[in-house]
Structure 1
Amino acid sequence: MSRAFLLALQFLTRVPVPAGAPPTPAELGRSALHYPLVGLLLGAVLAVLARLLAGADAGLAAALTLAIWVLATGALHLDGLADTADAWVGGAGSRERTLAIMRDPRCGPVGVVVLLLALLLKWAALHALFATTATPWLLLAPMLGRAALLALLAGTPYVRPGGLGAAHAAHLPRRAAVAVLVACACACPLLAGVHGLVVLAAAAAALAWWRRALRARLGGTTGDTLGAACEGVEALVLVAAALPAG
């Protein structure tokens, strides 16, 4: 098992991974290539859990699955989503004010509301999917959410020097990142057929819109806005998958 994969697993989940020697910047950059794989493994755990809960009430099964999902990731990306929401509204179009608010560890009312809406959307989508077949989407949603992290790191400037993702972005092998993203795109029709392609197109369009908004407001991305992208793509994938199921 490669050290780059273990670093990605350690960063993105609460799985206990031996710390070892401090990672070099190059190792951090390579670890980002494994983000979608970590998402796929998380999805596999969620899919197994969904199978075990097959006889339970769909609402309860959806709530338990979502709770494990949040606990397994330590709410890392939800924290980024809340900080981004607070800063985006409170920043009032100002780059400096937006970045300053993101540094504030407190969660304001906008962040709380956005968190609740994101979790509600995920729960409702899972509830609908558990009535049909949730397995492909439990695999794809975490994978594509973390592919969004990789895509932004590879194609958007990181604007906070010394930030959590600065070394990842600076030392990310771009060509290898493109290959990983192509593999993620190919996995969508393999796991979910034509519907997988439709959901992939929706996720790609949403991510392109978010990247454009980030470039316009901040000039690039930050750790918090990466987390917001992951949560947004995950929710979008689940909702887009659940609409036909509903």
Structure 2
Amino acid sequence: MRNILFGLLLALQFLTRIPVPVVCPWTPVTRRWAVRAYPLVGLLIGSVLALVAIAMQNVPTPLTALALLSLWVALSGGLHLDGVMDIADALGSNQPLARRWEIMKDPQIGSFGILALLFLLAWKGVLLWALLTYQAPLWWLLVIPALGRWGGVALLVLTPCAQQKGLAWSWQQSLSGQDVAFALLPLAVIALLTPLVVLIWLMAIVFVVLMRWFILRLFNGINGDMVGATIEGGELWLLILLWSWWQFVTVSPLGI
């Protein structure tokens, strides 16, 4: 039980800006439980967002969407956005593989990274606005951060690292496919509320498969930045899918 608690605290320290004034042991067991807790941290982030959305029901929808997006970024400290920008700079350079890796390691952000950041946040903000306008049940705010982080776990466990060093490789040594399944358990209760959660999970799998193929083709393996980019990209992917569902499939958005 102690290792489980330390794992949860490690996940909070790695994935959020929530103060956790505890020194957690860095062992294979605590790392394994930390990764299993990634979606649970996503549910925590989503719960905060949902509470804020409820509290701002009488506020104009664009302001609510902007507030949710700002809080979403603040809770994670923009950690995963850095990965998106690094990958965008590397790919935008149109350089050979070795040079792309050098660009990813460069702490300076280039124009392609800034553009990727702006478009990512713009799309997430507009999609939040659209889903709030549809008055979609707020369980989607719980599911998207959780499944985004589950996608990061799946990529980390199932994709080889490009180099046998770094944080991602260190984590990977303690993990197996069993941890991917364990990480999904926190979403099981929400799946009982609506079968649509299962469909969203299947679409998250599709995204991870595509992301894995994309990374192996262009980088020959992953690093920590790519796990973060998968989380951000997965959240955007799921927001687009949910918007598509309420826009084109659901006759009455309040009926689900």
TM-score w.r.t. length of structure 1:
0.91
Tell me, yes or no, if the aligned pair for 2:148 and 2:235 is still in contact at 8 Å: yes
Task: Give the corresponding residue for 1:176.
Answer: 179
Q: How does 1:144-183 map to 2 (within 5 A)?
A: 144-181=147-184, 183=185
Q: How does 1:67-216 map to 2 (within 5 A)?
A: 67-92=70-95, 94-131=96-133, 132-181=135-184, 183=185, 186=188, 189-194=191-196, 196-216=197-217
- Once the two structures are superposed, residues 205-231 of structure 1 have per-residue CA deviations (whole angstroms, 9 ceiling, x without a partner) of 122111011112222211111111100
One-letter code aligned to 2:213: R
Residues 8 and 17 of structure 1, relative CA distance in 2, 3 Å threshold: same
C-alpha separation between the residues in 2 aligned to 1:187 and 1:215?
Answer: 34
Tell me, yes or no, if the aligned pair for 1:29 and 1:170 is still in contact at 8 Å: no
Structure 1: 4+ residue segments shifted above 6 A: none
One-letter code aligned to 1:90: S
Identical-pair percentage:
35
Counterpart selection for 2:20 from 17, 21, 40: 17
One-letter code aligned to 1:193: P
Task: Give the corresponding residue for 2:45.
Answer: 42
Count of equivalent residues: 243
Tell me, yes or no, if the aligned pair for 1:84 and 1:225 is still in contact at 8 Å: yes
Tell me, yes or no, if the aligned pair for 1:149 and 1:230 is still in contact at 8 Å: yes
Residues 209 and 118 of structure 1, relative CA distance in 2, 3 Å threshold: same
Q: 3-state SS of the aligned residue for 1:59? A: helix
Tell me, yes or no, if the aligned pair for 2:32 and 2:175 is still in contact at 8 Å: yes
- Once the two structures are superposed, residues 103-138 of structure 1 have per-residue CA deviations (whole angstroms, 9 ceiling, x without a partner) of 001111111111111111111111011121251211
**How far has the Cα of 1:202 moved from its partner?**
2.7
Task: Give the corresponding residue for 1:220.
Answer: 221
C-alpha separation between the residues in 1 aligned to 2:149 and 2:234?
Answer: 9
Residues 22 and 47 of structure 1, relative CA distance in 2, 3 Å threshold: same
One-letter code aligned to 2:211: W
**Segment drifting more, 117-126 vs 210-219:** 210-219
Q: Which runs of 5+ in 1 are unaligned?
A: none
**Segment drifting more, 61-70 vs 207-216:** 207-216
Residues 18 and 208 of structure 1, relative CA distance in 2, 3 Å threshold: same
* Root mean square deviation of aligned Cα: 2.0
Residues 113 and 155 of structure 1, relative CA distance in 2, 3 Å threshold: same
Q: Which runs of 5+ in 2 are unaligned?
A: 248-256
Tell me, yes or no, if the aligned pair for 2:143 and 2:187 is still in contact at 8 Å: no
Tell me, yes or no, if the aligned pair for 2:150 and 2:180 is still in contact at 8 Å: no
2:58 aligned with 1:55, yes or no?
yes
**How far has the Cα of 1:30 moved from its partner?**
3.0
C-alpha separation between the residues in 2 aligned to 1:193 and 1:53?
Answer: 28
